[in-house]
Amino acid sequence: MSQFHFDHLTPDFMLDALWHYGFDVASGLLPLNSYENRVYQFKDQDRKNWVVKFYRPERWSLPQLQEEHQFVAELVAAEIPVAQAEQRDGEFVLAYQSSYLAIYPSLGGRQFEADQDEQLLQTGALLGRLHQVAGSRSFAHRPAFSAEQMLKQSADLLLSSGFVPKALEQNFAAVLQQLQQKAGQLYRPERSIRLHGDCHPGNLLWVNEQVMLLDFDDCRMGPAVQDLWLLLHGDRAEQQMQLGLLLDEYEQFCDFAAKELALIEPLRAMRQVSYMAWLAQRWGDPAFIRHFPWFNSPEYWQQQLKVLDEQLKRCDEPPLSLMPQW
């Protein structure tokens, strides 16, 4: 199992990479909260704040990384508030020795609050505008959301990883098989567009009284609802209200197909299983061992068995609707 190591990413290596692209680091490198890549904030000699992202080796190819940044550039050209990297010699993705990196101006702002109606309304408009641009072409190199990859392949990886306790293996394999069948049958998107792919509140920032969308690292093809459902939380009535707020503004810019609401629970199942597989695959990275120590405990796997069981039941429930049921 490839571990995608960052062994080469020493402080001297990172400073040399930044110097190579004209950044004289005056403050040192402050690590930010990122596990998949390595992300640091720094000040240059002019006291301007920057953020540098060093991409995890072997995860994305250069064409896939370039496609991410080209998508962001299209959104910026359409005046959609998203975070864009700096260019050097016409390139957003910068190469230094064996590494790829991207450098961004540091954005000041407040944490997105999913309970604030105004922020949800603005996010709905942002996503509607984003999907309007996104639907104009397809990714050539980025993958699509796939039940085969995110359920079956992830389940196979988990069951062969050695992380699932022996006492739970049989039950875990059974619930994963049931979830593959049920969610796989439900996940039948009729249309796929380019997506942000990971649009949860942590990737939204309230900047100058508007919502800004950050971090397109997980962008890929999929149904539009993928960029909406991660913003829904609470009980069914609360989610119904939040969905209404999002779509009120979303549909000013982009049509939304009501039948995509039936994809939310299979997408949730895909995320749950692929998240566990992601942790298993990255476990050789010291940052994962340090930040996710519970992953290798029997209690974690017992809890996940309950979570997946509950998700099976969710898949049998009626989907949310565009209009509240009175």
Return the pLDDT at 325: 42
35-94 pLDDT per residue, tens: 899 999 999 999 999 999 999 998 999 999 999 999 999 999 999 999 999 999 999 999
pLDDT band at 209 (very low <50, low <70, confident <90, very high): confident
pLDDT band at 326 (very low <50, low <70, confident <90, very high): very low
Query: Of 12, 198, 227, 309, which one is the catalytic site residue?
Result: 198
198 in catalytic set: yes
Taking the C-alpha atoms of residue 265 and residue 314, their distance in angstroms, rounded to an integer, is 7
24 in catalytic set: no
Query: Of 7, 16, 215, 316, which one is the catalytic site residue?
Result: 215
Closest by Cα among 119, 141, 135, 101 to 20: 101
Return the pLDDT at 169: 95
Tokens linked to 55: 């991409």
9-34 pLDDT per residue, tens: 899 999 999 999 999 999 989 999 88
**Beta strand 94-96 pairing with 99-105:** antiparallel
Distances (CA, A) of 99 to 6, 7, 90, 94, 282: 10, 11, 18, 8, 18
pLDDT over 90 (residue 109): no
Return the pLDDT at 4: 63
> In the 8-state DSSP scheme, what is residue 209?
T
Taking the C-alpha atoms of residue 240 and residue 218, their distance in angstroms, rounded to an integer, is 26
pLDDT band at 137 (very low <50, low <70, confident <90, very high): very high
Average pLDDT, the chain: 94
Taking the C-alpha atoms of residue 94 and residue 78, their distance in angstroms, rounded to an integer, is 24
Phi, psi of 99 (to 5 degrees): -110, 155
266-321 pLDDT per residue, tens: 999 999 999 999 999 999 888 888 889 999 999 999 999 999 999 999 999 999 99
pLDDT over 60 (residue 265): yes
